[in-house]
Amino acid sequence: MTYALIVLPFVAITMAMVLTTVRRPGFGRRTAASAIAAVVLCALTAVFDNLMIAAGLFTYPPEHLSGLRIGLAPLEDFSYPICAAFLVPAVFILLRSRHAGGRGVTGSRA
């Protein structure tokens, strides 16, 4: 099994959760913040994955990779921070709206 196939369920779940929250208030603002977070997380992943691979802390079997790399880090490694940057806020919005009794994100309990 390749790392790209391992990533597919995470990408599918992230897309489903983000699409579920499209009509929620603040979607555009949250998406912009998620995009900024994704860029920062990918930069950190690039730096630290390259350092750890260069130090010999771990390796990847080449037959399980796409072959595309950013430095020493395989491209597949960057899918996890991207998914996290979009999935965590989507889950937070969904849980928060359920906790508010279905009144949406801006609803408050009196």
Q: What is the tens place of the pLDDT at every residue in 27-51? A: 778 888 999 999 999 999 999 999 9
Strand ranges in 21-94 using DSSP code E only, listed in sequence order: 69-70, 73-74
Confidence of residue 103 (pLDDT cuts 50, 70, 90): low
Q: Lowest-pLDDT range, 9-13, 43-47, 100-104?
A: 100-104
Are the C-beta atoms of 87 and 14 separated by less than 8 Å?
A: yes
> CA triplet 108, 15, 49: central angle to 5 degrees?
105
Amino acid making up residue 4 = A
Spatial neighbors of 24 by CB under 8 A, at least 6 apart, are: 93, 97, 104, 105
pTM of the model: 0.78
pLDDT score of 104 more than 60 = no
CA 40 – CA 78 distance, rounded (Å): 11
DSSP 78: G
